Amino acid sequence: MINIFEVKETNNMVEHENLDVRTITIGISLLSCIDSDLKKLNENIYNRITSVAKDLAKVAGEIEAEYGIPIVNKRISVTPIALIGGAACKTPEDFATIADTMDRAAEAIGADLIGGYSALVSKGMTKADEMLIRSIPIALCRTNRVCSSVNLASTKTGINMDAVRLMGEILLEVAERSKDRDSVDCMKLVVFCNAPDDNPFMAGAFHGVTEADAVINVGVSGPGVVKTALEKVRGENFEVLCETIKKTAFKVTRVGQLVAQEASRRLSIPFGIIDLSLAPTPAIGDSVADILCEIGLEYAGAPGTTAALAMLNDQVKKGGVMASSYVGGLSGAFIPVSEDQGMIDSVQAGAITLEKLEAMTCVCSVGLDMIAIPGDTKATTISGMIADEMALGMVNQKTTAARLIPVIGKGVGDTVEFGGLFGYAPIMPVNKYSCDDFINRTGRIPAPIHSFKN
């Protein structure tokens, strides 16, 4: 039972502390759309998305108006397209037509973004997987809403280094094709280790093959709420600090649970999960880095940062899991550089480096996220950065990711503007030493010994 105090408290979080539901994402299975005729396949996909999600924007607007809780994004995720298009697609261009269809369908139902232009290649690539990957630059540069992800590694299978090498080349091609817009299309592409099937956040959302025909997944976010709560316990011991984070995460997650249940009921689609991630925005007071500073760091990146982030992430999970029937997705703290004003300030102050960010990804939800790097960075160097991030996820049995943006024509000292929730980013320096001979080996890195659980 929700009492009047909780209602007032939630209203205050919304009005003054940037609490919002970051996304309602409908996951849609496209397995029933498979056809060997490309025209028929595209027709099936369009009809499936627009029929299942036709009321998404309307229902989100109704819930927002009725409960006074901002719902920032309405999104769609679909079955990885490499699986759906394999029978019909003979060329990368064939796959890109499916991206066009996804884009049209998302626009028709008022979705902000649509994810699932994806391939799962942690152990090997089929011809369809490779064709889809090679079509990514074409697809992303001629669509507005389509997001792409590739799962390159897992704890169970190891790291597909052939795919890692290919993705370094693909990322540079995406950057080159959108260089007149500061390589902005790279924001819509992410690579994973241990990608979850039920992630509601972009660019990595896809609807896993183990999921039902359609599900509602909700991402809720409140870094500003956590920071405000911690301001009230300055100087207290770690026990008080941890309890405060847990209680706050519980309250934030309850808001997401309410919205998810209402959306599920009104759309007649089963509730999947709540992703209780702390996802920052460029808005002042909506920063994960600011939480770390409130905990006691001068800047994110100072000694102690990894420990502070580990504690924050763990307490957010402990509080959140008590507030929802089902928690999933990524669920923890995000550290995207361009989307977090505190992280931007840390980069500009010289307090944080790529190497420190990599260390932080060992204990948080994602990986090297929304990081702008010089446009002349070699493909093999990018692949090396990706491989490092994949290794962290594989060995630590967690999800890690890399969303890197090589900005063609810009270098260290420059800044790139992405706009909106994506913010802006200073170009960060990349290690200048070569990993060419390592990346150009073929095959895969085997799974770690502790992956054998049977």
Task: Please report the DSSP string for 139-184 in residue order.
Answer: HHHT-SSEEEEEEEEETTTEEEHHHHHHHHHHHHHHHHHTGGGTTG
Rounded to 5 degrees, φ, ψ at 114 are: -135, 125
CA 211 to chain centroid, in Å, comes to 19
Q: Helices marked H in 17-150 — which ranges?
A: 38-52, 56-67, 81-85, 92-109, 127-141
Query: In 322-377, where does DSSP find H-type helix?
Result: 341-349, 354-360
Dihedral angle over CA of 198, 285, 308, 335, nearest 10: 40
Among 167, 160, 205, 153, smallest CA distance to 393 is for 153
**pLDDT at res. 4:** 45
- Token pair of 58 as six digits: 């309307």
Three-state DSSP class for residue 20: strand
pLDDT at 22 (0 to 100)? 82
Give the pLDDT score at 412. 92
Burial 174-196 (b: 16+ CB within 10 A, else e): bbebbbeebbbbbbbbbbbbbbb
Which residue type occupies 50? Answer: T
Beta-carbon count within 10 A of 303 CB: 9
Per-residue pLDDT of the chain (454 residues; tens, 9 = 90+): 444 445 455 555 555 456 778 889 999 999 999 999 999 999 999 999 999 999 999 999 999 888 888 888 899 999 999 999 999 999 999 999 999 999 999 999 999 999 999 999 999 999 999 999 999 999 999 999 999 999 999 999 999 999 999 999 999 999 999 999 999 999 999 999 999 898 888 888 999 999 999 999 988 877 888 888 898 999 999 999 999 999 888 888 888 888 888 899 999 999 998 888 777 777 777 788 999 999 999 999 999 999 999 999 999 888 888 888 788 787 777 788 888 888 889 999 999 999 999 999 888 877 788 899 999 999 999 999 999 999 999 999 999 999 999 999 999 989 988 877 778 889 999 999 999 999 999 999 999 998 887 7
Q: Would you state the pLDDT for residue 10?
A: 59
pLDDT of residue 21: 81
Specify the pLDDT at position 97.
97
Tokens 């070569």 -> residue = 434
**Cα–Cα distance measured from residue 76 to residue 214, given in angstroms and rounded to the nearest whole number:** 10
Residue 165 is predicted with a pLDDT of 97
Find the helix or strand (DSSP H, E) in which 12 lies: helix 4-16
For the chain, the C-alpha Rg in angstroms (whole number) is 21
Give the domains, in start order, of the chain with CATH numbers: 24-191 (3.20.70.20), 218-374+386-443 (3.20.70.20)
Closest CA to 74 of 45, 102, 106: 106
Spatial separation of the C-alpha atoms in residues 423 and 46, rounded to whole Å? 31
Q: At what angle do helices 288-295 and 305-321 cross, to 10 degrees?
A: 110
Sign of CA dihedral 199, 271, 279, 422: positive
DSSP 451: G
Residue type, 338: S
How far CA 98 is from CA of 87, 118, 145, 209, 221, in Å, comes to: 13, 12, 13, 18, 31
Task: Note whether 364 and 332 are within 8 A (CB).
Answer: yes
**What pLDDT does 160 receive?**
98
What local confidence, expressed as pLDDT, does residue 40 receive? 97
